[in-house]
Chain A
Amino acid sequence: MHLLRKLGFYLVALWAAVTLNFFIPRLLPGSPVDAVLAKLALRGPVDPNTRRAIEIMLGADDDKPLIQEYFAYLGGLLSGDFGISVTYFPTPVTQIIAQSLPWTLVLVGLATTITFIIGMVLGTVAGWKRGTWLDSLIPATTILQAVPYFWLALLFIYVLSVNLDIFPISGGYDPSLVRPALDYPFLSNALYYGFLPALTIVLSSLGGWLLGMRNMMVSTLSEDYILTAEAKGLSPRRIMVMYAARNAMLPSVSGFAISLGFVVSGSIIVESVFSYPGIGFTMLQAVQNNDYSLMQGLFLIITVSVLAANLVVDLLYGVIDPRTRARG
């Protein structure tokens, strides 16, 4: 029952994303056709026939009722038809997404995992040693959290890439040295290029995990079972890790939903700063070129990925925390 409820929620969220994706372009003032025309008009006079051509190109030339169009759109999505990209004409949108998705998945996935581990460990220690110098460092991490992702990225590029020349300024790998393949030269090169973007994401999202974990540790340490464990004479390390940290981690795991949205949003802009060949950079390319089908395809993929990650975490949560199972 609990599982069904969860699945139902994710289905509703998915449906909401798809529907938003369909209605945003149709209900907002101004159409994509107008947007493309306005851009062309900046460069010179536009031929009246151009409008018709652009309408056909963007698939806005049929006058079917909205509902019918909606179901045609849903059908297209189910069969994997996301349309054709204008920027990389005539490549299908799915192909471009397939090229850029691995970059973002690895970057964001690795960065989030590293952040989570560091945050949990430091948060545990800070909560355990409340009131010491380590604990007083916690407010300092909120400064890092208040720093915009992309500004931190700009600073890193300025100091480490432009001035000290330690790291590359932009890109995901060096095309003059290696080709994308699963071998050592490429992976090490990609790791080298991905280090600064990952460092940016880790540093700017660490504060939230750290603070959340520390606060939960403090609350958990005042529970009766901690006192019992102390009274039993267990070693402090065992109490800290097996008794307090294990329980204090639970809200952090379930808070993954909120944070992942933030991280993905942040990484979109970080990618644009580093010209990293992932989803976010591609999305901005699509925005600059009025490539609406690519943009909407990317929006869907990002949303589906976030939903899928959350579903996995939710299912894991049932395994970690028996209380949720008992209630369902």
Chain B
Amino acid sequence: MTRTPSRRRAALQRILTPSLVIGAGLIIAIVLFGLIAPFFVADPLAVNNAGMHGPSAQNLLGTTQTGQDVLAQLAWATRGSLLVGVIVAFLALFLSAFFGILGGYLGGWLDEVFSLFTNVVLILPGLPLMIVIGSYVQQRGLLLIAFILAITSWAASARVLRSQTLSIRTRDYVQASKIAGEKAHRIIGVEILPNLLPVMSSGFVFALITAILGEAGLSFIGLGVVGTQTWGSMLFYAQNGQALTLGAWWWFVPPGLMIALLGCGLSLVNFSIDGIINPRLRTAPKQLKQAKKARQASPATKRERDDEPEQAEQEEVSA
């Protein structure tokens, strides 16, 4: 298969949708902030007499009740939240791949047991379970919290992976390699896994969002990682430090905004992945646009189709 440069550019243009560019831009900006900013900010825990001051030249995002610099806290919290999110997303990806792909491929009673287990985990409400586990453990380290978040968030994508595996399993090339005597682990690794990559990456992005939101929730109620700053723990201290009633918006708005922006970026990326996997979901299909253009070009056909529902929207667009 040979590809001319122009075709490659066309393919690239198809993948680089505006939503992917904006989403990736947001993610990269936040990740860079979490990686680099902690080296340049002041000590986030240093207490100062100038408490509850709004944004100024000295403290770009103001100070907390005890005079700690909000920008410095935000930088470290970004790093902490991202770290938790990435660890959890990898753990969840591994768990969902294990239960989904293995069960789907091997079938039989193992599949029955695995999918029963997956469905049970899926239906149990996650946060109450996390609260119960978290409240029993006093030394809540980063890994423990990541583990708790992972075991409550892998099930949904395991179910998707299983159904995908079931459909791939019956395809000719998998059957062919089975007949050729390939071992099961090789078939899964070489024939099935590459075809699941888009679905898995979408699952990874989803797990990342869930993990960061879940961690923020846990930390917000005081059950997060002990001694690590995250967006959730900032909100926890803001809530307990009367930031709301004292009107210290600079304290509780930035952490939530960071979560929202990151989540938004990740969703946009997920949209584009979905669009690549399933072209039927793309927002404006080419044919529809071409049909509109054609109609605009010839007023005769326009009058004929006055009863069509698209007519109203088209006028809105041109107005």
Q: In whole angstroms, how far apart are the Cα atoms of A288 and B135 in the complex?
A: 9
Q: Check if B136 sits within 8 Å of A218, measured CB to CB.
A: no
Is A87 among interface residues, defined by CB-CB distance under 8 A? no
Q: How far is the CB of A128 from the nearest CB of chain B, in Å?
A: 8
Contacts of A163 in B (CB 8 A): 247
Q: In whole angstroms, how far apart are the Cα atoms of A133 and B213 in the complex?
A: 30
Per-residue contact bits, chain B 252-263, to A (CB 8 Å; 1 contact, 0 not): 110110011111
Is B91 among interface residues, defined by CB-CB distance under 8 A? no
Q: List 4 other contacts, CB 8 Å, given A139-B268, A158-B252, A266-B127.
A: A151-B235, A154-B235, A265-B126, A283-B128
Contacts of A247 in B (CB 8 A): none
- Contact residues of A between 206 and 237, Cβ < 8 Å to B: 215, 218-219, 222, 236
Q: Check if A257 sits within 8 Å of B136, measured CB to CB.
A: no
Known interface pairs A132-B313, A299-B132; A261-B259 also in contact (CB < 8 Å): no
The 3 closest A-B pairs by CB, nearest first: A146-B263, A151-B256, A265-B127
- Contact residues of A between 248 and 306, Cβ < 8 Å to B: 257-258, 260-262, 264-266, 268-269, 272-273, 283-284, 287-288, 290, 292, 295-296, 298-299, 302-303, 306
Known interface pairs A139-B271, A306-B125; A28-B136 also in contact (CB < 8 Å): yes
Q: Check if A147 sits within 8 Å of B135, measured CB to CB.
A: no
- Contact residues of A between 21 and 47, Cβ < 8 Å to B: 21, 24-25, 28-30, 32, 34-35, 38
Is A3 among interface residues, defined by CB-CB distance under 8 A? no
Q: Check if A154 sits within 8 Å of B252, measured CB to CB.
A: yes
Looking at B122, B131, B252, B253, the one whose CB has the most chain A CB atoms below 10 A away is B131
Q: Check if B285 sits within 8 Å of A261, measured CB to CB.
A: no
Q: Check if B123 sits within 8 Å of A131, measured CB to CB.
A: no
B binding-site residues for A, Cβ under 8 Å: 19, 116, 119-120, 122-129, 131-133, 135-139, 156, 209, 213, 216-217, 220-223, 235, 239, 244-245, 247, 249, 252-253, 255-256, 259-264, 266-268, 271, 280-281, 283-285, 288-289, 309, 313, 316-317
Is A114 among interface residues, defined by CB-CB distance under 8 A? no
- Contact residues of A between 1 and 21, Cβ < 8 Å to B: 9, 12-13, 16-17, 20-21
B281 in complex: contacting residue of A9, A32, A218, A296, CB < 8 Å: A218
B128 in complex: contacting residue of A128, A155, A215, A303, CB < 8 Å: A303
Contacts of B132 in A (CB 8 A): 21, 24, 295-296, 299
Known interface pairs A162-B245, A257-B122; A139-B19 also in contact (CB < 8 Å): yes
Q: Check if A28 sits within 8 Å of B137, measured CB to CB.
A: yes
Q: Check if A261 sits within 8 Å of B125, measured CB to CB.
A: yes
Is A143 among interface residues, defined by CB-CB distance under 8 A? yes
Q: Check if A146 sits within 8 Å of B209, measured CB to CB.
A: yes
Q: How far is the CB of A172 from the nearest CB of chain B, in Å?
A: 19
Q: How far is the CB of A220 from the nearest CB of chain B, in Å?
A: 11
Q: Check if A154 sits within 8 Å of B133, measured CB to CB.
A: no
Q: Check if A310 sits within 8 Å of B123, measured CB to CB.
A: yes
Q: Check if A13 sits within 8 Å of B262, measured CB to CB.
A: no
Known interface pairs A28-B136, A162-B244; A265-B128 also in contact (CB < 8 Å): yes
Is A116 among interface residues, defined by CB-CB distance under 8 A? no
Q: Check if B264 sits within 8 Å of A143, measured CB to CB.
A: yes
Q: In whole angstroms, how far apart are the Cα atoms of A169 and B280 in the complex?
A: 46
Contacts of A299 in B (CB 8 A): 128-129, 131-132
Per-residue contact bits, chain A 149-178, to B (CB 8 Å; 1 contact, 0 not): 111101101100011000001000000000
Q: In whole angstroms, how far apart are the Cα atoms of A273 and B243 in the complex?
A: 13
A215 in complex: contacting residue of B247, B263, B281, CB < 8 Å: B281
Contacts of A241 in B (CB 8 A): none
Contacts of A288 in B (CB 8 A): 222
Q: In whole angstroms, how far apart are the Cα atoms of A157 and B124 in the complex?
A: 30
Q: In whole angstroms, how far apart are the Cα atoms of A152 and B255 in the complex?
A: 12
Q: How far is the CB of A145 from the nearest CB of chain B, in Å?
A: 7
Contacts of B268 in A (CB 8 A): 139, 142
Q: Check if A265 sits within 8 Å of B267, measured CB to CB.
A: no
Q: In whole angstroms, how far apart are the Cα atoms of A199 and B309 in the complex?
A: 33
Q: In whole angstroms, how far apart are the Cα atoms of A46 and B69 in the complex?
A: 38
Q: Check if A131 sits within 8 Å of B284, measured CB to CB.
A: yes
A–B Cβ pairs within 8 angstroms, 16 of them: A32-B136, A38-B138, A131-B288, A135-B283, A139-B267, A145-B263, A146-B266, A162-B247, A169-B245, A257-B122, A261-B122, A264-B127, A268-B127, A283-B131, A287-B222, A296-B132
Is A102 among interface residues, defined by CB-CB distance under 8 A? no
Known interface pairs A268-B128, A295-B132; A143-B260 also in contact (CB < 8 Å): yes
Q: Check if A295 sits within 8 Å of B260, measured CB to CB.
A: no
Is A148 among interface residues, defined by CB-CB distance under 8 A? yes
Q: Check if A25 sits within 8 Å of B136, measured CB to CB.
A: yes
Q: Check if B133 sits within 8 Å of A295, measured CB to CB.
A: no
Q: Check if A264 sits within 8 Å of B129, measured CB to CB.
A: no
Contacts of A272 in B (CB 8 A): 221
